[in-house]
Structure 1
Amino acid sequence: MTLRTISPGGRGFLYVNSHPEGCAAVVDDLWQHTGTAADSAGPGPVALIIGSSAGYGLAATVAALRSYRMRGLGIAFEAPETGRRTASAGWYRTARTAELAGADVGFAFLNADAFSAAAKEQALDHLAARYGKVDHLIYSVAAPRRTDPVTGEVHHSVIKPLGSAYRAKTLQFDGDTPLVGSLELEPAEDAERDATVQVMGGADWRLWAEALADRGLIQDGFHTVALSYVGSDLTAPIYRAGTIGAAKQHLEDTARGLQQELAPLGGQAHTVVAGAAVTQASTAIPSIALYTSLLHAVLGDSFQSTAQQATALWRQLTGEAPLQLDEQQRIRLDGWEFDDKVQAAVRERWTAATTDTLAELADTSWFRTQVGRLYGWDVPGIDYSAPSRTTVPWPSAI
Structure 2
Amino acid sequence: MSERVVSPTGHGYLLLDSHPAGCLRSVARMRAEVRASEKPSRRRPTALVIGSSGGYGLAITIAGLVRYGIDGVGISLERPAGRRSATAGWYRTIATEAIARESGSDFSFRNADAFADTTKTETLDLLAKRFGGVDYLIYSVAAPRRTDPRSGIIHRSVIKPLGAPYTAWNLEFADDGAASLREAVLAPATRAETAATVRVMGGEDWSRWITALADRGLLRDGFRTVALTYIGSPLTSAIYRKGTIGAAKMDLETTANALSKRLAAVGGRAYTSVNGAAISQALTGTPGIPLYASLLHGVLGDRFPSPVEQSVQLWDQLTADRPDLDESGRIRLDRWELSEPVQAAVAERWRSITPETLAELADIPWFRGQFHALYGFDVPGVEYDTPIETDLPWPKPS
Whether the TM-score (by the shorter chain) exceeds 0.5 is: yes
Question: 1:41, CA displacement in angstroms?
Answer: 8.2
**Residue identity opposite 1:188 in structure 2:** A
Which residue of 1 is the match for residue 310 of structure 2? 309
**Residue identity opposite 2:260 in structure 1:** Q
CA distance in 2, matches of 1:396, 1:341: 49
Which residue of 2 is the match for residue 355 of structure 1? 355
SS, match of residue 114 in structure 1: coil
Q: Does the CA-based 8 Å contact 2:223-2:268 persist in structure 1?
A: yes
Structure 1 position 49 matched with structure 2 position 16: no
Matches within 5 A, 1:144-223: 144-175=144-175, 176-223=177-224
TM-score, length basis structure 1: 0.97
**Residue identity opposite 1:99 in structure 2:** A
Q: Does the CA-based 8 Å contact 1:178-1:355 persist in structure 2?
A: no
Which residue of 1 is the match for residue 226 of structure 2? 225
Which residue of 2 is the match for residue 90 of structure 1? 89
Structure 1: gaps (5+ residues)? none
CA distance in 2, matches of 1:255, 1:41: 27
CA distance in 2, matches of 1:178, 1:28: 29
Q: Does the CA-based 8 Å contact 1:43-1:71 persist in structure 2?
A: no
CA distance in 2, matches of 1:88, 1:121: 26
Which residue of 2 is the match for residue 109 of structure 1? 109
CA distance in 1, matches of 2:282, 2:140: 11
**Residue identity opposite 1:183 in structure 2:** A
Question: 1:374, CA displacement in angstroms?
Answer: 0.3
**Residue identity opposite 1:171 in structure 2:** L
CA distance in 2, matches of 1:174, 1:74: 36
**Residue identity opposite 1:281 in structure 2:** A
Q: Does the CA-based 8 Å contact 1:133-1:216 persist in structure 2?
A: yes
SS, match of residue 184 in structure 2: strand
SS, match of residue 327 in structure 1: coil
Alignment length, in residue pairs? 396
Q: Does the CA-based 8 Å contact 1:143-1:199 persist in structure 2?
A: yes
Q: Does the CA-based 8 Å contact 2:232-2:338 persist in structure 1?
A: no
Q: Does the CA-based 8 Å contact 1:164-1:186 persist in structure 2?
A: yes
The alignment yields a C-alpha RMSD, in angstroms, of 1.2
**Residue identity opposite 2:109 in structure 1:** F
Summarize deviations over 1:124-152 as a string: whole Å, max 9, x none. 00000000010000000000000112101
Q: Does the CA-based 8 Å contact 1:35-1:311 persist in structure 2?
A: no
Question: 1:39, CA displacement in angstroms?
Answer: 3.5
Q: Does the CA-based 8 Å contact 2:18-2:375 persist in structure 1?
A: yes
Question: 1:43, CA displacement in angstroms?
Answer: 4.9
Paired-residue identity, %: 54
Matches within 5 A, 1:309-348: 309-319=310-320, 322-348=322-348
**Residue identity opposite 1:192 in structure 2:** E
**Residue identity opposite 1:67 in structure 2:** R
Summarize deviations over 1:62-106 as a string: whole Å, max 9, x none. 000011110000000000001x10000000000001012217410
Question: 1:301, CA displacement in angstroms?
Answer: 0.7
SS, match of residue 222 in structure 2: strand
Runs of 4+ in 1 over 2 A off after TM superposition: 39-43
CA distance in 1, matches of 2:233, 2:7: 35
**Residue identity opposite 1:98 in structure 2:** E
CA distance in 1, matches of 2:223, 2:130: 17
Which residue of 1 is the match for residue 33 of structure 2? 33
Q: Does the CA-based 8 Å contact 2:54-2:89 persist in structure 1?
A: yes
**Residue identity opposite 1:115 in structure 2:** F
Question: 1:40, CA displacement in angstroms?
Answer: 3.9
Which residue of 1 is the match for residue 67 of structure 2? 67
Which residue of 2 is the match for residue 259 of structure 1? 260
CA distance in 2, matches of 1:373, 1:85: 18
Question: 1:172, CA displacement in angstroms?
Answer: 1.4
CA distance in 1, matches of 2:324, 2:13: 34
Which residue of 1 is the match for residue 3 of structure 2? 3
**Residue identity opposite 1:114 in structure 2:** A
